[in-house]
Amino acid sequence: MSSTAIVGLQWGDEGKGKIVDLLSDQVDLAVRCQGGANAGHTVEFGDCQFILHLVPTGVLRPDVRNLIGGGVVIDLPGLFRELSELLKKGIQWQDRLFISVSAHLVLPYHKLVEQADERARGPHRIGTTLRGIGFAYADKITRRGVRVGDLYHRDKLITRLQMGLDAHRDQIMTLPDVQLPTADVLADELQEYAEKIRPYVVNPSEFLHEEIARKSRILFEGAQGAPLDSDGGTDPYVTSSTTTGGGIRTGLGVDPRAVEDVIGVTKAYCTRVGNGPFPTELTDEIGEKLRAQGKEYGATTGRPRRCGWVDGVLLRYTSRINGTTHLAVTKLDVLDGMDVLKVCTKYTDQHGPLDLANLDGVQPEYEEWPGWSESTVGATKWSDLPANCKKYLERLSELAEAKLHIVSTGPRRDQTIRM
């Protein structure tokens, strides 16, 4: 695999961080393509746990260069908090980090207007991460956003900040006790970060073109998951970027043929954080057990994740829209000791075409698979797995129409089966 994309096949949090980290020992460059600090990629090795929000996971490997691509929205203070945390844990990133000149910025007023918007939606709120992601992308699309490159053009910067403040002021003022800075004050604050990132700023298309010409091995690191995609997902309970393989191409301005293999990541069960439909959700003691055993709490917000069975209808769909060639299944060990496992293969009362935006009330039809009593924790070989476990994994691979490639049997790097 010389250039590979890693994408989420569920509602984010599939364990992409660990898979990216594993594969980054074979690459020269790791690239974040979309999303922002709403993502939380958790990686454990040695005695350390790392949770990366904006910096590509490749940063944890000393020989890997890292690009934050143009499709990402960057919260500069958050980025620097993350970078200084990395330094404290001994990760030197200074000569290995690159930032796209065209990435848009998440500004303080994006977080405030998102808070006000969520409040105004009342029972219909999305349950966002409150990281200002949606409004940063909204300003990008409505052409009043601030790009990294604009930081070096003060007049344009002030104009854009003023436009953003004016557009969102009324809604922000519905929040109690809030004060908005002026465009000048905001520009001064940004100036400090602008100087800090200046040495790392690149044009992502030119940068990648050169890397590809030099035959660098590239890992494209997707964030969130396909049903959270703003085009094909469970609208309105979605994030605001293109979370499928398509987002890699548009976010970076890279030759679409640059991505050779696509590894889709799914948990051995399913989770979702935030509101929205989840046909295979378990609100009973089995769901509780999955949450407890899988330590299912959001890496970014700490919210408890909703848990359920694998939804094979979604798995097939999300695998197809990503052009998934290989499947990675994570958190297999969490299912140890379950008598029966269920997989949804059909929605019984679906009328008309599959429509992820209108899944409320669909009834999942399940097939049942016998569980296993043995522990799979830390298994490193396919031959170590119980027979029922192998059959279950093979079924997931069949549903995803993708070759089983990696099975994760614990949070650490070494707790992995590579096929």
Q: Exactly one of 13, 21, 211, 296 binds ligand IMP (CB under 6 A); which one? A: 13
Q: Which stretch binds ligand IMP (CB under 6 A): 104-112, 124-132, 358-366, 393-401?
A: 124-132
Q: How far apart are CA 204 and CA 201, in angstroms?
A: 9
Which CB sits closer to ligand IMP, 127 or 370?
127
Q: Annotated catalytic, 405? A: no
Q: Which is nearer to ligand IMP, 239 or 244 (CB)?
A: 239
Residue closer to ligand IMP by CB (options 221, 333) is 221
Structural tokens at position 94: 């200074």
**Contact region for ligand IMP (CB under 6 A) — 7-15, 89-97, 330-338, 384-392?**
7-15
Would you call 185 exposed, middle or buried from its count of C-beta atoms within 10 A (0-12, 13-18, 19+)? exposed
The torsion angles phi and psi of 25, rounded to 5 degrees, stand at: -75, -10
Selected catalytic residue, list 21, 41, 110, 229: 41
Let me know: does 6 contact 19? Beta carbons within 8 Å. yes
Q: Please report, as residue ranges, which positions from 135 to 154 form the binding site for ligand IMP (by CB under 6 A).
A: none
Angle at 130 (CA atoms; ends 38, 304), nearest 5 degrees = 70
323 binding ligand IMP? (CB under 6 A): no
Q: Which of 22, 133, 187, 263 binds ligand IMP (CB under 6 A)?
A: 133
- Report, in Å, the least distance between residue 31 CB and ligand IMP: 17
Q: Please tell me whether residue 243 binds ligand IMP under the rule CB under 6 A.
A: no
User: Is 397 a binder of ligand IMP (CB under 6 A)?
Assistant: no
Q: Tell me the closest approach of the beta carbon of residue 8 to ligand IMP, in angstroms.
A: 8
Helices (H), 104-173: 108-121, 133-141, 154-172
Tokens 């691509």 sit on residue: 69
Number of residues that bind ligand IMP (CB under 6 A): 21
Contact 31, 220 (CB under 8 A): yes
Whether 13 sits among the annotated catalytic residues: the reply is yes
Cis ω before 236 (30° cut-off from 0)? yes
Cβ proximity to ligand IMP, 18 vs 131, nearer residue: 131
Q: Decide if residue 12 touches ligand IMP (CB under 6 A).
A: yes
Per rule CB under 6 A, is residue 61 in the interface with ligand IMP?
no
Q: Mask of contacts with ligand IMP, 188-217, x by CB under 6 A?
A: ------------------------------
Find out whether 69 and 201 touch, Cβ atoms under 8 Å. no
Cross-strand bridge partners of residue 404: 327
Q: Is 239 in the site for ligand IMP (CB under 6 A)?
A: yes
Q: Is 234 an interacting residue with respect to ligand IMP (CB under 6 A)?
A: no
**312 is an interface residue for ligand IMP by CB under 6 A:** no
Task: Provide the token pair at 369.
Answer: 């698979």
Length of the chain: 419
Binding test (CB under 6 A) with ligand IMP, winner from 126, 136, 165, 332: 126
User: At closest approach, how far in Å is the CB of 233 from ligand IMP?
Assistant: 9
Q: Is 128 in the site for ligand IMP (CB under 6 A)?
A: yes
Each residue of 40-60: b (16+ CB within 10 Å) or e? bbbbbeeeeebebbbbbbbbb
Minimum gap (Å) between residue 110 Cβ and ligand IMP:
10
Task: Give 99 or 126: the residue with its C-beta nearer to ligand IMP.
Answer: 126
Residue closest to ligand IMP when measured from CB atoms: 274
Q: Does residue 131 belong to the site contacting ligand IMP (CB under 6 A)?
A: yes
3-state helix vs strand vs coil in the chain, percent to 5: 40, 20, 40
Counting other chains too, the contacts that 351-356 makes at CB distance below 8 Å and 24 or more residues apart are 354/313, 354/317, 356/227, 356/232, 356/233, 356/234, 356/235, 356/277, 356/314, 356/317
Q: Which residues are catalytic?
A: 13, 41
